[in-house]
Amino acid sequence: MSTIAFLNIAMHGRVNPTLPVVAELVRRGHSVTYHTSPAFSEQIAATGATVCLYPGGDQPFPDRPTAVTFMEGLARTAVHLVPPVLTDLRRIQPDLVVHDNACLWGAVAARELKVPAASSFTTFAFNRHMPSPTSGSWGLLATATTQPRSVLDYLRSRWWLRRRFDTRGLPPLDLENIRQPLNVVYTSRVFQPDAEDFDQSYRFVGPSIGARPVDPSFPADRLQDPVLYASLGTVFTADPQLLRSFATALAPLGGTVIVSTGQTDPAALGPLPANVLARRFVPQPEVLERAALFVTHGGMNSVNEAMYAGVPMLVVPQGADQPLVARRVVELGAGLSIRTQDVTEGSVRALAGRLLDDARFRAAAATLQVAQHEAGGYRRAADELERYLQANGSVGQSAHVDPSQRG
């Protein structure tokens, strides 16, 4: 068996899809380590992987970062983390490094150790037809002119890394698109825009959804159909008034309306209709299995989980790649989109009513559900990583690889 090192960014949307893959690799007999922040150590330990904590505690990123501040945060974090991560990895001696597509320190460490690396795309895959938010563009340049300090800090960090480590082949700007000879993309080819433009190094494995710990406090047995669910994710602090608009708009349409408030205190929403359940966190896959409609910020992980459950969506993009995701949901007929500034109780209720009443949205969501399931999920991802190890001569004879899986 092989030793596989995972390195990631401390964000739920980046970490959660990798957890079932890690658990599957451990089940197949591999030794897996996972570099993470303390906030994720318990979840990762539950997979059977060995947890390696980043020094300095949780690694914060700006609340609602721009492309420029996100790039600066990634480069600055790499300066702090590459030396201790290299010390750990030299002790671990991995056969393979798996890093997030924006995890600069993981890519640098793999190059320094001359170890095969795979990139984990929990976003869309990106190329010239489908540019990432950090790709060189007039929009990036315009943002950069308003944030000169972040630009300067980014350049300083990249200069420091280049002087001390092997950064050849890494993108000078596009840190959301760090590619490797194997790129595991956690969505289906059907949902990926322009999938035919990506070569065989990209493996579209679909959503990675495994068993999650049961939340005994969640009243799953008391939900009344139709269940309508709203969430703006767990990363950023959501506007309480925006969440309240969702709750009051959906209440007349649903049996039970569930609002996940994330970092926002549910009490900040004020008094809510009796059929609205507002909680910071909910067991999302379990809720989506019951839901007739999902109001979402359009985070890739949440949208993948909704498609996996066959649920139509009303997408309210908040930033990052979410407008791209929203556009794709609308293109494929599985939902509608609305800008945050256009959200009112009336507008949300009207769009939600269309999604609930028009069977074409449910049919399109069902088509995407089939594609998401057929892509293979976390088992397919584990197969691809084992195949990659085998191609590099680093996997034992008993490794499980399903040769029937293709691109």
Q: Specify the higher pLDDT residue, 233 or 335.
A: 335
The reply to whether 90 and 32 lie within a common domain is yes
The reply to whether 32 and 86 lie within a common domain is yes
The reply to whether 297 and 387 lie within a common domain is no
Residue 405 lies in a domain: no
The answer to whether the beta carbons of residues 209 and 215 sit under 8 Å apart is no
From residue 86, give the alpha-carbon distance in Å to each of 40, 91, 106, 258.
21, 9, 9, 44
The contacts of residue 78 (CB under 8 Å, 6+ apart) are 104, 105, 108, 157, 161
Q: Is 197 helix (H, G, I), strand (E, B) or coil?
A: helix
Q: Where are the alpha helices (DSSP H) in 332-376?
A: 345-357, 359-374
The contacts of residue 185 (CB under 8 Å, 6+ apart) are 121, 124, 125, 192, 202, 203, 204, 205
The reply to whether 9 and 156 lie within a common domain is yes
- Domain extent, residue 159, equals 3-206+375-391
The reply to whether 170 and 264 lie within a common domain is no
The pTM (predicted TM-score) of the whole model is: 0.89
Residue 402 lies in a domain: no
Q: How far apart are alpha carbons 16 and 117 in whole angstroms?
A: 20
Per-residue pLDDT band at 184 (split at 50, 70, 90): very high
Residue 79 lies in a domain: yes
Number of domains in the chain: 2
The reply to whether 226 and 134 lie within a common domain is no
Residue 215 lies in a domain: no
Encode pLDDT of 1-57 as tens digits.
Answer: 899 999 999 888 899 999 999 999 999 999 999 999 998 999 999 999 999 999 986
Encode pLDDT of 137-154 as tens digits.
Answer: 778 788 888 888 999 999
Encode pLDDT of 72-98 as tens digits.
Answer: 999 999 999 999 999 999 999 999 999
Can you tell me which residue has the tokens 């007739």? 292
Residue 398 lies in a domain: no
Encode pLDDT of 280-323 as tens digits.
Answer: 999 999 999 999 999 999 999 999 999 999 999 999 998 778 89
Strands (E), 69-121: 96-100, 117-121
CATH number for the domain including 189? 3.40.50.2000
Q: How far apart are alpha carbons 203 and 184 in whole angstroms?
A: 5
The reply to whether 333 and 350 lie within a common domain is yes
Residue 263 lies in a domain: yes
Q: How far apart are alpha carbons 100 and 132 in whole angstroms?
A: 14
Q: How far apart are alpha carbons 202 and 262 in whole angstroms?
A: 32
Counts of helices then strands in the chain (DSSP H, E): 14, 13
Residue 274 lies in a domain: yes
The reply to whether 298 and 356 lie within a common domain is yes
The reply to whether 301 and 329 lie within a common domain is yes
In percent, the amount of the chain with pLDDT more than 90 equals 77
Residue 91 lies in a domain: yes
pLDDT for res 58: 62
